[in-house]
Amino acid sequence: MTNTETSLKEAASIEGAIGAALVDYTSGMALGTIGGGKDLDLNMAAAGNTDVVRAKVRTMEMLGLGDEIEDILITLGRQYHMIRLLKGQGKNGLFLYLALDKDRANLAMARHQLKKIEAELDV
Coil, strand, or helix at residue 22? strand
Question: For position 122, what pLDDT does the model report?
Answer: 85
Question: For position 38, what pLDDT does the model report?
Answer: 85
In total, how many domains does the chain have? 1
pLDDT of 53 higher than 90: yes
Q: How far apart are CA 96 and CA 53, in angstroms?
A: 11
- Full domain range(s) for residue 64: 4-120
Residue 10: how many CB atoms within 10 A of its CB? Answer: 19
Question: For position 2, what pLDDT does the model report?
Answer: 81
Question: For position 123, what pLDDT does the model report?
Answer: 78
Q: How far apart are CA 48 and CA 122, in angstroms?
A: 25
Spatial CA neighbour of 97 closest among 21, 29, 24: 21
Question: For position 91, what pLDDT does the model report?
Answer: 79
Q: How confident is the model at residue 25 (pLDDT cuts 50, 70, 90)?
A: very high
What CATH number should be reported for the domain holding residue 45? Answer: 3.30.450.30
